[in-house]
Structure 1
Amino acid sequence: MSHENKTIRNTAPGHPRRPLADRIALVAGATRGAGRAQAVELGRAGATVYVTGRTTRTRVSEVGRTTETIEESAELVTAAGGTGIAVPTDHLDGERVRALADRIDREQGRLDVLVNDLWGGEHLLVGSVFGKKSWETPLADGLRILELGVRSHVITAALLLPLLIRSDAPLYVEVTDGTAHSNRRYRENMYYDLAKTAPIRLAFGLGQELAEYGGTAVAVSPGFLRSEQMLAHFGVSEENWRDAIAQEPAFAVAESPQYLARGVAALAADPGRAARWNGKSACSAELARAYGVRDVDGSRPDAWAYFEAAAHGGEEVSPEDYR
């Protein structure tokens, strides 16, 4: 099958510090956390990055945080060396997502990297989900988790993939919690388990479809993420995050959002990524080992390996041994 309408561009490597200088990216769910960090790191590598989310300087999403906005995320992308473009978007609204696709098409004519980092359901977890059987979980909360973690991803993929396959090397990244290996274990609650396992299968299936176009679909996961919300939960900041270890010893393996983001940016610049990653899942530590990146403190934390040994293997291990 031929694809005469595919946009073919010069793929010769550019400046080593700006390997994505000619690339167009969209990070769906870039208001905060890993989404924002991935947008910034793609920008640091030179990309033009559209950032979407529901919290703006004039409107707050159900997450309820006013301290991070998509406008700020776009400014951080630009400050890092890329071009950040904020587009307020509720990815559960098909018409809004279609309008987003139309805008990128009109302004750029293609999309090279699509990072699907939509979530925003943390407020539903503690008290409502974790520690409860599926039938004890409020149905409305459970269904909302599936909307935020699965339906939004499917809508985004369906409406943006026609633009992505115009690229000479399409990259689709699903961001979730866990990998195919770690999520072979039950994730405490049926709704959460479905929401965090479905993106792995999305990447697997879309990998089959994108292969025909020379593309890559991969699911990625942070470890114990020091997101803004997690830091707030423990009452610490990025500057003194280790103070939270007294409350939660496993926080010693926590990682900054930049850790996963650096791995994803390296993956996006990897010309051999299709053969290496297509249809697979990987955690931040696996990407770090593959591409030689480290966290902001120079460490290389591996939270999933720690949890496997300590929580599931019953071994007496120190979290510090997994940094």
Structure 2
Amino acid sequence: MIRIDHLTHVYPGSRKTAPRTAISDLSLQVGDGEFAILSGPNGSGKSTLFRILCGLALPSSGTVHIGGFDLFTQAAKVRTILGVVFQSPAVDKHLSVAENLRIHADLYGLRGAEFSRRRDEALGWTDLADRLDQQVATLSGGLARQVELAKVLMTDPKVLLLDEPTTGLDPVSRRNFLDALHRLQKSRGMTVLMTSHVFAEADDVDRVAIMREGVLLAYDTPAALKAMIGTEMVVVQAKDTEGLAARLRSEMGLAVRCIGDEVRLEETENGESLPLLEKILDRYRPEVLSISIKQPGLDDVFVHVTSRAVPDHALALDLRRTGS
């Protein structure tokens, strides 16, 4: 439903700055009815990609198709199937919930009984039924986000783009919003692409894409991404992180990495970790502050993938061929 082929975007330089490549030869696909999350550190190109997908910017090269339509030559047709929830609020806080919904419906030509039907359907999952006459400025962050999503759902989009929609929400509001989004996505069969830097939001989606410095480093299912760094890993906190890591490499021949104040032995399978943990403790107990065995999460995948050198992205190419 979303197909991006060899997309590149370069911001032009000036007298004082050199041109900057925000997206470099990016290709990925999101299938019909899939829920995908796009993540990456600040400056990874997520915002630029989102602006291009929304039709707010033209890339330097490459193509984008949404619902089979060329985004750049058939933009009007794309808009008929596309819904967008921006990171910054796109509702008028000085108007009521009902007034915001009415204005959005007018922009799409929804009137009369059809408007009432779609409005009621879009509000069905929300906590807004008794707040239609309430000014949006008086709502909590979670309820204001519900207004945003209800507004978009009125137009019955086949493809929904969301740019970090849970930013600023408390944990309960975030969970409620995401639960509702997943239910709606499944019941309506929508294709969803959402940017996020919170990996707890990515465990239940179909695919996760990780970018850094404009390059797609990985794109696959959450389970496949976790399997990249083994089923378990040994994590050590030491008095001298770099010193212990060097000794584990030279004296035990272990492939370890330093991540912050941790020494990590990744890419181990079930049954391998405990013997390694015992050997490390046997040799280096005085140097160890703590040691544990943990299952890798998507946050570990993110650290693992983004800490690799960007030019060495054969992994991303393999995943694009097999996972898209």
**Same fold per TM (> 0.5)?**
no
Query: TM (normalized to structure 1)?
Result: 0.25
Query: Which has the larger strand fraction?
Result: 2
Query: TM (normalized to structure 2)?
Result: 0.25
Query: Which has the larger helix fraction?
Result: 1
Larger RCO (alpha carbons 8 Å, 6+ apart): 2
